[in-house]
Structure 1
């Protein structure tokens, strides 16, 4: 059975836009081919797309062409393809003549305004996550790495700070030591905890730029600290984010959630499949999912591998680990356990021969 073939013809009056669509040495076309498992052949302004996902790839080409008034980066292509696989048209950037209300896309999903760029959710779960953050005082974002849990939460915080909706941002993480206590590590407090908090710094630098971030730190409008230093505080008019919450104990989780003061908003993010707590220690995030699921004012968003917006391989890695975990829960034999079983089955025969 022949693979379906679709055709797309770009207008002939805009060679620059065509070049922006294809990218240097047709790199953008190769990205689309690999992501959607299709073959794209171009002759001038005509594209032939062959493969089971030819219709989806054709839609993606048309959408990218409409966006290609400027050069499209690899990131633009990858993020657009995430939306395409979700059945959403890649979002079109609007300039000052945007006819839609500020802070919304065509479908009404939230847009976050930062100094670097405007951000919006790329998948249905991300868009729901943003809506819940904006409409609830406490929001949990739970799911695998690469789904944008932390980055979108920090973007919401930056947007709120820039609009004067809050007076400061407080970012915190539990410092789970890798076999060493912080007190025995060299350096002052900042040097001890910096490796644990570096991902939060990276998100701020990406959203605000280095200089603006440093100014906010100097004015104490942004604070990053280990979770242990939150005890005894009440945070009013603040946007508070607890990252890597799967590594909190139940006591730490309760302590964090009770720090929230008037005019504050809190977001808790974590991945319950990557708990680094000592064996036998219960995760505060896993317990909170059960205890707080019906509490009014608290929202929970769960992400899956389809929401991963990193390299496409990351989603496949997450899926492979999920499938492995399901096999273990079902008690099914895996290749490794099968080889051990064969060894055990041969053992009695060897013993009998020896006797």
Structure 2
């Protein structure tokens, strides 16, 4: 089935912005998307992964190594030849076992030749791409914890059954879920970089336009893709420019002070909020082609970076987004 173009998704600007920021700087720590069913959560993630240009991979490598990294992973991939492949998009099923996720002993090879060998798991397949987990709030906590650890360290370490394996596992973790079906533990939610709230569109014009575009895509997928190719190219150039500019951008001390003041004002737990806010503001500035990181970048990305880190206040049942916006107004006018 042909993918739906990323730029053709109607509305959901916050979700699309969070995904673009994560694509520019994967170190931000992934995106958590909570919202109603059927609002385009997985469609947007798949569309972004498919939009990105193919990556170069060492020929014969099961770990997605770049050609210049050949021979540095558990595979004896010494070939300097490269092949092009699409950016990985791995959809992790809820019933996946720890062995399936991390990788495990290759039993067939062990029984056939008596040789201990490692069979890569889903984390190896997602390297340099996206790992998507639908209904992540229903996934076992120890698996979510494990995934977040690997996403942060960008390395998967497996020591079991006499094996000791270490390989790169750098990916953008995207989780989605419906809060009505179960909450994600606050300790785990806090470790996601960005959090997005998605709602069913309430404007008649938006709902009609969604139906119109879906019908056009079903009727002629190739023609619909061609119609949106110019917009897709714009998004692609924006991401490429953002990735190039990111390393050159420094966050000035006054902007760091703004970020710290805002985190204190909203009552964000720990220091992860400040760090994520700083990285997200820098990625947003790079995405917009700005010459420096400014206060507006901090305030624009603050709801994404902080809304899932706020302490519960029994005296203030106001929504987290409203609390953040109120603090921004009080601090900066």
Query: Which band: TM-score by shorter chain?
Result: 0.3 to 0.5
Which of 1 and 2 has higher RCO (CA within 8 Å, sep 6+)? 2
Larger Rg: 1
Q: Give the TM-score taking structure 2 as reference length.
A: 0.34
